[in-house]
Amino acid sequence: MLFDERPKENREDLFDREKEIKEIMSNINRPLILITGVRRIGKTSVLKVALNELKIPYVIIDCRNLRPNYSRGDLYSLFSNALSSKLSTFLDVLSKIRGISILGNSVELKWKGREYVSLSDLFDHLNEKRIVIGIDEAQKLRGPLSNEIREAIAHAYDYDRNLTFILTGSEVGLLHDFLGVEDSRSPLYGRYYYEITLERFDKEKSQQFLRKGFEELSLKVEESVIQDIIAMVDGIPGWLTFAGNQYFNNKDLKKVKDIAINVALNEINSLISIKNNVSTIVAKRYRTVLRCIAKGMNSWSKIVNCLQDEEGSTISSSVLSNILNTLEKLSIIDENYEFLDPVYKEASKMLRN
């Protein structure tokens, strides 16, 4: 079903994306692949469908809910959960690794004591088979253990030729920062990666997607409804799916838009609070800057004037530069101070300090 909001796993449930799946399959023997794009663009679906098409054993580490100051226990739990979900595939390898216990259908990893298993050791043992390791929303791994993770991936990049890493990321600038391939201090410095960027659907594909989705639900809709939804979400597949489901449930486009904006508003506030949990002043400035941009302030001078008028205070260039750079790395705005997601733009108009 096209309007199923869960990530797709089979080709017949995925609309379009043949080109991107072919790119993944053509480059699967590279050590490092990135799948990037704005939120709700379909990265996880493309990853899962491609891996199922390849018929190569794989495991996906889901970092989406990893907290910013995650612990080693949090990190190892992600790997434990992922490996447990694929236990039958990796049982022969995992059962031989010191620091790993198999209890029923669960994989337990030790990160303390004499018999702990390091990530590098784990990757070296997994290298006994041809395996793809997917890391979903990998920018979430930025934090206290990020260098250790980079070192393990760099080691596997150089020595574990049976492993391919595929990393997805919605906060594209932060994903690039995490990898640090252009940062001489990073263990991955100078390593090549192949990047696949998912683009939003054009108007024609968006129309086809919505029509097919509504047909699957046996719901006839006016062409004006199709066009209004497209105008609202600008071809982002996740929002098209969300709007299609909401319209099917209540047949009220205004209500659909209001619900989408509230969802986006919660996400923006969450991103700001996570990024600025030590400074309410800076968090307030993020909201003000987003509100200014949403109101059409699309140049440095207009943004700084808007921010200063709101606060009644002068603002240093370095402070504003840091806010704008961060918003760009979070993939909320682009380098021209334009929103990448129209629903986020509408939600930002409603941000309150």
For residue 203, being part of any structural domain is answered with no
What phi, psi does 219 have (nearest 5°)?
-120, 120
pLDDT band at 272 (very low <50, low <70, confident <90, very high): confident
Q: Are residues 318 and 172 in the same domain?
A: no
Percent of the chain with pLDDT over 70: 98
pLDDT attached to residue 275: 58
Q: Does residue 42 belong to any structural domain of this protein? A: yes
Going by C-alpha positions, the residue among 337, 353, 39 that lies closest to residue 170 is 39
**Spatial distance between the Cα atoms of 347 and 53, rounded to a whole number of angstroms:** 38
* Residue 68 binned pLDDT confidence (cut-offs 50, 70, 90): confident
Main-chain phi, psi angles of 106, to 5 degrees = -115, 145
Tell whether the model's pLDDT for residue 278 goes beyond 60: no
Mean pLDDT of 21-46: 97
pTM of the model as a whole: 0.95
120 and 44 in a common domain:
yes
**Looking at the structure, do residues 276 and 128 belong to the same domain, yes or no?**
no
Query: In this model, does residue 277 exceed pLDDT 60?
Result: no
Give the domain-ending residue among 197, 232, 266.
197
Is 252 among the domain residues?
A: no
User: What is the domain-level CATH number for residue 297?
Assistant: 1.10.10.10
Count of CB atoms situated within 10 Å of the CB of 118: 14
Domain boundary among 151, 173, 197: 197
Split at pLDDT 50, 70, 90, the class of 273 is: confident
CA 137 to CA 72: how far, in whole Å? 18
CB 349 within 8 A of CB 269: no
If asked whether residues 175 and 276 sit together in one domain, one would say: no
Asked if 181 and 300 sit in the same domain, the reply is no
CATH of the domain at 36: 3.40.50.300
Q: Are residues 31 and 120 located together in one domain of the fold?
A: yes
Pairwise CA distance, residues 168 & 79, whole Å = 16
pLDDT confidence bin for 321, thresholds 50/70/90: very high
Residue 78 lies in a domain: yes
Tell me, yes or no, whether 162 lies in a domain: yes
pLDDT of residue 293 exceeding 80, the answer is yes
Single-letter amino acid code for the residue at 323:
I
Total domains, the chain: 2
In the listed set 197, 222, 238, which residue is the last one of a domain according to the structure? 197
Between helices 223-233 and 203-216, what is the axis angle to 10°? 120
Q: Is residue 89 part of a domain?
A: yes
Model confidence pLDDT, tens digit, residues 159-178: 999 999 999 999 999 999 99
Same domain, 94 and 190: yes
Same domain flag for 135 and 272? no
- In whole angstroms, give the CA distance from residue 48 to residue 45: 5
Residue at 48 is within a domain? yes
Which amino acid does the sequence have at 334? D
Residues 198-246 pLDDT 10s: 999 999 999 999 999 999 999 999 999 999 999 999 999 999 999 999 9
Domain residues for the domain of 35 are 17-197
Contact 214, 220 (CB under 8 A): yes
Q: How far apart are CA 201 and CA 14, in angstroms?
A: 13
Percent of the chain beyond pLDDT 90? 91
pLDDT digits (tens, 9 = 90+) for 88-136: 999 999 999 999 999 999 999 999 988 899 999 999 999 999 999 999 9
93: CB partners within 8 A, 6+ apart: 125, 126, 128, 129
Tell me whether residue 88 is in a domain: yes
Closest CA to 227 of 214, 215, 210, 245: 210
Tell me, yes or no, whether 271 and 135 share the same domain.
no
Q: Which of 45, 48, 50 is nearest to 3 (CA)?
A: 45
